[in-house]
Copies of this chain bind each other. A is one copy, B any other.
Amino acid sequence: MVNSPAPSSNDVKTHHESVGAWAKRYYFANRAAIESVLRPYGIGTTQWYVLYQLANDGPTIQRDLGQLLHLERATLSGIVSTLVRKGHVEQVPGATDQRQRVLHLTKAGRKLWEGLPDPIAVIGATSLQDISEAELATAVRVLKAATQRLNDYMADGDRT
């Protein structure tokens, strides 16, 4: 796309746009691919992550799950109620703290989980093969650093 002459300072914006643009495209392509694997089972990508957590780490407080998956309370609330409606997850008030909701798989939920393919393995393997460990590490480092900056920026901006 952007062929590579000596990058002038004018290229900065182009580069920036590229990382952002490609992060977006990769995110959505990845999501679409995962969803195509999961579609026959009637669950979405983020719903899968919730089931994954509950299946592997057992009952979890909704608040903690939100932090683990980097989701806002409101977002998780909707996803959980979808899973509850479908009968895969049960949501019970916490024993000591009545505000909290403890989530755990229902029997049906566990059964579903056991029949589920692992979309990360299926999709991830195809999408990243032939990319060296070093390149992967660089990509992650860049994405991580940039995300960090943005979060700092937002935190600052809020306080001002």
A126 to B157 alpha-carbon distance, docked (Å): 12
The distance from the CB of A116 to the nearest CB of chain B, in whole angstroms, is 15
Give every chain B residue within 8 A of A137 (Cβ-Cβ). 1-2, 4, 15
**B33 contacts A121, C-beta separation under 8 Å:** no
A141 contacts the other chain (CB 8 A): yes
**A146 contacts B133, C-beta separation under 8 Å:** no
**B15 contacts A20, C-beta separation under 8 Å:** no
Copies per assembly: 2
- A154 and B32 contact, Cβ closer than 8 Å, known pairs A4-B133, A139-B19, A144-B1: yes
B-binding segment of A23-31, A57-65, A98-106: A23-31
- A124 and B1 contact, Cβ closer than 8 Å, known pairs A23-B26, A26-B147, A157-B36: no
Give every chain B residue within 8 A of A121 (Cβ-Cβ). 13
A147 to B26 alpha-carbon distance, docked (Å): 5
A128 contacts the other chain (CB 8 A): yes
Q: How large is the interface on A (under 10, 10 to 19, 20 to 34, 35 or more residues)?
A: 35 or more
Q: What per-residue 1/0 map shows which CB atoms of A125-150 lie under 8 Å from chain B? A: 11111110111111111111111011
Per a CB cutoff under 8 Å, which of B17, B126, B143 touches A153?
Answer: B126
A18 contacts the other chain (CB 8 A): yes
22 A-B residue pairings within 8 Å (CB atoms) = A1-B144, A12-B124, A12-B125, A13-B124, A16-B125, A18-B140, A22-B143, A23-B27, A24-B27, A26-B146, A26-B150, A29-B151, A29-B154, A123-B150, A126-B149, A127-B146, A128-B149, A131-B145, A135-B138, A135-B142, A138-B138, A139-B143
